[in-house]
Structures are given as C-alpha cells and as structure tokens.
Chains A and B, each alone.
Chain A
Amino acid sequence: MQQRIAIKAFSLICRAFRHRAKQLLFTTLSFVMKEEFLGEFKRLNDVFSMNPRLASHVRVLELRVRGCSGLRDLFFEDRNLLECIGHISRNGFGHQPLHLEVYTYTHREQYPIYQGPSITRSRSFEAHFVPFIASRLTSMDIRDLSEVPVALFDTSHNLFDLHIEGITLAPFEDSKRGPIEKRPLIRELWVKESEDVVCNNCLRFDRLSKVTFCNYDEMTVQHVLLSPPLSLEYLGFDTEGMSLISRFHINATIQQLFILYL
C-alpha cells in the first residue's frame, strides 16, 4: 500500500512519469473476496471502462480468499468483477505473461482441522471466470483449495510455470475433457500435496526443466519421473533429509540434469 501511494505521488511530479506510474499501479491487481469489497469491483470496472488500455498493464491477478467462506458464486456472478476480468482478457496483447495467484487468509497451521475453501461452491467460477482467463495464464500459484474444476488446468494452454499446494480436483468426467495435446506444457513445477492434479493428466511434462517436490509423495514423483523428461535440469526435494534417498527411484538416465537438491 505504501508503495502504491508513493507511485501515485510519483505520477504527479511531471507528465513524463504518468505513463510509467500507470503501468506500475496496474501491474498487480488484488481482488479481496469479501462481500464488503464488491463496491471496489465497481470502482475498478468504471476505471477500466473509461480507459481500457489500463487493463493491458495487468501481469498479476490475485484472488485473496477468506478461509472460512471460500470462493462463492456471489463473487463470480458480480457483473463488475466479470467485466474487469473481461477487460484484462481482451486487452492483453499477444503472449504477455499473466500470473494468477489464489490464496487464503488463514493458514492451515493455525487451523489444523480446516481443509481449505471449497472452490466448487461457485459454479460461476467455472462458468464465468475460467473460460475468460485460463487461456491467458502463463504462470499460476494456487494454494489450499479443494475441489478445483479440472478445466482451470485443462484449458490453461499457455501455462508453463505452476506452483500448487494443497489442491484437490472436483469430480469430473474424463470423456468431457479436451484433448491431452492441448493441456499445459509445464516447464517449472513446485508441488506439495496435490497428487490429484499431477496424476490426472491435467499437465504435460515433456518439456519440464525444473521441478521441486515438497513433502515427498510417491505417486506424484512417480508420475513425473517415471519417464524423466529429457529437458529436466533441476530436480529438488524439499523434505526431511536423507531418509528420502532410499525411497525414490530414478531408473532412467536424465541427460540434462544439472542440479540435484535432496
């Protein structure tokens, strides 16, 4: 917030600074998913409607979810929020990077019984948000979300950098999914407790260059490393030390591997 205030002041110094200040102010958009903030969506939509070019500066989209309420229809049926997303989606030029970050306020360590917000409470998320934004995403960082629609991954065709932690998928019918060749070709992966996503072929790893497995899960590791990608340069395990070495197996040569972190 301090930084934003400073940037606003900076933009008033002279006209030459205005354009750069606008870029910086709109690089990261943070949506707080609380009812009290619905008015903020309207303000932002008014700004984008008057000056749609501002939406082209957005590179990071944050959805901050309150742990106890999750992502609800209320937000994704809000006309102003959806129009803001529409502005961002329409005004991105070519292959501009767009990063999506979804995280909760409360942390699991503080509330051990709490299982994370349920994204499926919002059918609108799948119907209104995913189709507009998924194909634009180049990187994603999502944590502590249960029952995420598989379409969020399946249709993120340009996604290459993924950080997932504590993610489970909503029930889905395999026959209704798009072709596997269109699913994201991941280059960098950081994964913790998200075997649902990795093991259901939501992602392709043929060009994976960097992977970190946090908290060893055999299914996840096997799925990614059963036929190790030739492009793999960094393999990391963020776990509790050497007991790991006897647990995981590499049965094939990984020609390009440059760094091993255990």
Chain B
Amino acid sequence: MGVDLSMLPNLRKILIVVTFPEHDVDLYQTGMDVVTDLVDFLHTLPANHQLKHLRLNFDISLTLTNLDEAPRAKEAVLSHGNWAALDSVLMSKINSITHVFGVNVYVGFWLYVESESRAPLDPIALQEAKNKDHLYDWGQKYLPRISASNSPNLDLEIAIHHDYVLN
C-alpha cells in the first residue's frame, strides 16, 4: 500500500474511480478484488478524520451476447467484490466522527450487447431491460449496514446506472 491517508491531515474530499476487470475470467485468473484494494486503502483513514465527502464510482464493463444474460452477468461481477468489508469500513469511519460526512456510492454498468444475428436489437426490449433491472436495490443488498444507518452525520447517496451499447 503506497498511500497512507493519515499523512494527509487536511484532506476533505476523496473521489475514487474503481474500474472492474472487464471479464469474469480475469477475476479468476488474477484473484484481484478491486473492492478489497479499496477497503485496504480506506482503512488508512484515521478514526478522527476530517473528511467531508467521499465519492466512490464503480465502473463495470460487460460484454453480452443477448440481453437476457444481463442480470446473471451483473450479479456475477458484483459477487466477486468483498462488499461486506466495504460496508464495515464505511460504518467505522462514520461512527467515529462528529461532523457531517457525505458518502456517494455509484455503480455504473456499461453493457456491450453483441447481436448474434447482426440484426439491430429492438429498442423497446432494451428499454424494458433497463426498466426491470433487478439491481435497483443493490445498496440494501450489498451495503446493508450503511444503507440502514440512521447516523445524523451520514449524508448517503447510493445509485446505479446501466448503459447498453449495441455492438
């Protein structure tokens, strides 16, 4: 670990873009869990930190052969991250302070759909896929403690975004 946040005593704002490896295969091969890397980094933040804003952007690209694969593929990628550890470290950093701390956690999925038939995909089907996305409550599922926290110091925003790109 190269950065020790305790050496940055006046830090007020951190913005981190976490890019997931592009294919599931990479995750198995490297054993790399980018969420654990992030957790290790956040552990270096001292308990009495003065941070006012932490923004975490998780950027995930997936290639699909059809739209029906989307829910399973998204779950598969997310399941490789140690979200419980992230939930825990965020809670510990909130519980130890007395000032307002804004936390934004944002997951952005970029789904590249390769149409096998070479025929353009139905835009209505695409819209339906976006509308019925089963991960709308992903925060409660993957970060349950911080989502349920009623700390008056916590200003929490959790969001998810899906963008479908037709190849």
Contact = CB atoms under 8 A, between A and B. Distances in A.
Contacts of A247: 2
B1 interface: yes
A258 B11 contact: yes
B150 interface: no
A256 B8 CA distance: 8
Nearest to B51: A260
A257 B8 contact: yes
A17 interface: no
A19 interface: no
B38 interface: yes
A254 interface: yes
Given A250-B3, A261-B15, 7 more contacts: A245-B38, A246-B1, A255-B10, A257-B10, A260-B8, A260-B14, A261-B14
A257 B38 CA distance: 20
Contact of B38 (A242, A250, A252): A242
B126 to A, nearest CB: 27
Interface residues on A, range: 20 to 34
Contacts of A254: 7-8
B155 interface: no
A8 to B, nearest CB: 43
Interface in B48-88: 59
A244 to B, nearest CB: 9
Given A253-B7, A253-B8, A255-B10, A242 B19 contact: yes
B8 to A, nearest CB: 5
A242 B21 CA distance: 10
Given A245-B41, A253-B7, A260 B15 contact: yes
Contacts of B17: 241, 262
A249 to B, nearest CB: 4
Closest 5 CB pairs of A and B: A241-B19, A249-B2, A259-B13, A261-B15, A242-B34
Q: Among the interface residues B7, B8, B12, B32, which one has the most CB atoms of the partner chain A within 10 A?
A: B8
